Amino acid sequence: MRPITRPTTLAALSLAAVLTLSACSGGDDESTSPSFSAADATTDGGEATTEDEATEDVVEEEPTEDPTPTELAVDYDVAAVDFGAPGAVTGPGTPLTKGQPAWLNQTATYGEQELTGPTAVSVLDVRALEPSIFDQYSNAEDFAGYTPYAITFQQQWFYDVPAEYDPTTLDLFPIKEDGSDAEYLTGQFGFGAATNSCGLQLPEYNEETKTLVSCIIGLSKDLPVTTAKYNGETYTSIIASADNAYFNQPLSWG
């Protein structure tokens, strides 16, 4: 067993809003408007008083269809990308570019059921944020000198997740431009709960395609954070799995 070494992670004690799939699951984006029928056709003209008197033709108005409501496009800070169809498993250490999916076989437990199926993940965007993002925390002084970086990534599941459960997400870890590990912002208690919205406008979870765009915040006092890595472990891992080839040869997106 190999111990996992990582930089000390600062915990934002007042950060209580942790992104979950149930919170970001969107409903049906299509809005349905009621269908209105045209008024009943009317007969134009007076009544016929004798059998010899001709009646005017009945004029029927053509029913008009209501226009389909226009759905406004959302200008997301980072939009989802099309991963396409599942490919072969991406081997450990494979170099990737931002937006390019890594194909993995994910094993996750849902209740008492363990499922294994294909999933894809990719870093989409990395950007520096204003340090004022720390002002919302009661321990903001702990972040003096740090620059926060929003690391936005996308995951898509290509297997059937039980209806009563949200898909299990993969954990990514921020990296500085020299390849060294960066610290990252967590929730209330140390490791874990690193995923949040980063203050960006991101697409909601797409239930039809099982696609989620989410974000973590990397922290650095010196070199900029430029990407994130997948090493096959989780934020709560203490010992790396012996059969985890990604730990020593992680995937990252340049």
Q: Identify the weakest region by mean pLDDT among 93-97, 143-147, 150-154, 192-196.
A: 192-196
pLDDT at residue 240, as a whole number: 82
Q: Of 15-24, 111-120, 224-233, which range is least confident?
A: 15-24
Q: Classify residue 79: in a domain, yes or no.
A: no
Give domain status of residue 103, yes or no.
yes
pLDDT of residue 77 exceeding 90, the answer is yes
What's the start-to-end Cα distance of the chain, in Å?
30
pLDDT band at 200 (very low <50, low <70, confident <90, very high): very high
Q: With bands split at pLDDT 50, 70 and 90, how would you rate the model's confidence at 193?
A: low
> How do residues 234-249 score in pLDDT, each as one tens digit?
988 888 888 899 999 9
Q: How confident is the model at residue 40 (pLDDT cuts 50, 70, 90)?
A: very low
The CATH number of residue 248's host domain is 2.60.40
Residue 6 covered by a domain? no
Predicted local confidence at residue 254, as pLDDT: 95
The answer to whether residue 51 is domain-embedded is: no
Mean of the per-residue pLDDT values for the chain? 79
Q: pTM (2 decimals)?
A: 0.72
- Is residue 248 domain-resident? yes
CA distances from 245 to 93, 118, 121, 230 (A): 9, 17, 17, 11
Q: Is residue 110 part of a domain?
A: yes
HSE, CB side, 13 Å, CA atoms: give it for residue 198: 29
Asked if the structure places residue 70 within a domain, the reply is no
Contact 158, 148 (CB under 8 A): no
How many domains are there within the chain? 1
Average pLDDT over residues 29-46: 37
User: Among 181, 161, 162, which residue's Cα sits nearest to residue 227?
Assistant: 181
Parent domain of 125: 95-253
Coil, helix or strand at residue 24? helix
> pLDDT tens-digit profile of 1-29?
444 444 444 544 333 333 322 223 333 44
In a domain, 80, yes or no: no
> Are 214 and 153 within 8 A, CB to CB?
yes
